[in-house]
Structure 1
Amino acid sequence: MTADGQQNTDDGAVTFVNRFTVHASPDEFERTFVDTAEFLGEQPGFLRYTLLKHVDEQNSYVNIAHWRDVESFRRAVSQPGFKPHAEALRALSTSEPNLYTLRQSFAVDS
């Protein structure tokens, strides 16, 4: 980390960002999402996730999931057990999934 709090990194970790537009009950979507997150949480290389709900657009969500590496992510979503979870989420929403690598990070010391 540099003196100004900025960090450049290339440790192989990836971040999966998926924007959801829910066309069902938000509560039902969130319950279904928990089931998916529990499945993925058991997969090697999974680190953590955050599900965010838009402040003004009540049917808009963003999932941010961190993985040790791209291979772990791809292996997890290719597991036969993942397919029912993906289908359940697709029945309740549309999504825009993308995979990213961290290039820079900045934090203020408190």
Structure 2
Amino acid sequence: MPSEEIEVATDGSVTFVNRFTVTAPAEEFERVFAETSTFMTEQDGFVRHTLLRHVEERGRYVNIAVWRDESSLRRAVACPQFQPHAAALRALSTSEPGIYRPLQSRVPEQSR
């Protein structure tokens, strides 16, 4: 059995995970989120993000965003121009945000 390679991230990047429970029409939330996403992609240190919607519970979403470092993320969310985006999302949903540091990443050998 071939051994799996475990990669440990040491580049200082962080992953912002935010779970949303949407209390408005899904289409409206997705539109507002897309506007927020556009704003965030313009911020220094933003790497990428993925918005996921639960397969069975259509009002549940998870956003996973990778940032170059924690300070870049914190600067972006503290920016006065971000506040209207945050308020718009809060009007349509509740959320559970958190910042995480990557520890392990596995890729199957055939994908390398």
* TM-score range normalised by the length of the shorter chain: over 0.9
Q: Which residue pairs with 2:104 in the alignment?
A: 104
Q: What 5-or-longer segments of structure 1 have no aligned partner? A: none
Q: Does 1:47 align with 2:54?
A: no
Following TM superposition, by how much is the alpha carbon of 1:9 offset from its aligned partner in structure 2, in angstroms? Answer: 1.8
Q: CA RMSD of the aligned region, Å?
A: 0.9
Q: 1:12 corresponds to which residue? A: 12
Q: Give ranges in structure 2 of 5+ residues lacking alignment.
A: none
- Cα distance in 2 for partners of 1:22, 1:85 equals 15
Percent identity among equivalent residues? 57
Cα deviation, 1:36-67, whole Å, max 9, x if unaligned, reads: 00001000000000000000001000000000
Amino acid at match of 1:100: Y
Structure 2 equivalent of residue 87 of structure 1: 87
Q: Secondary structure at the match of 2:12?
A: coil
Structure 1 ranges of 4+ moved more than 3 A? none
TM (norm. structure 1) is 0.95
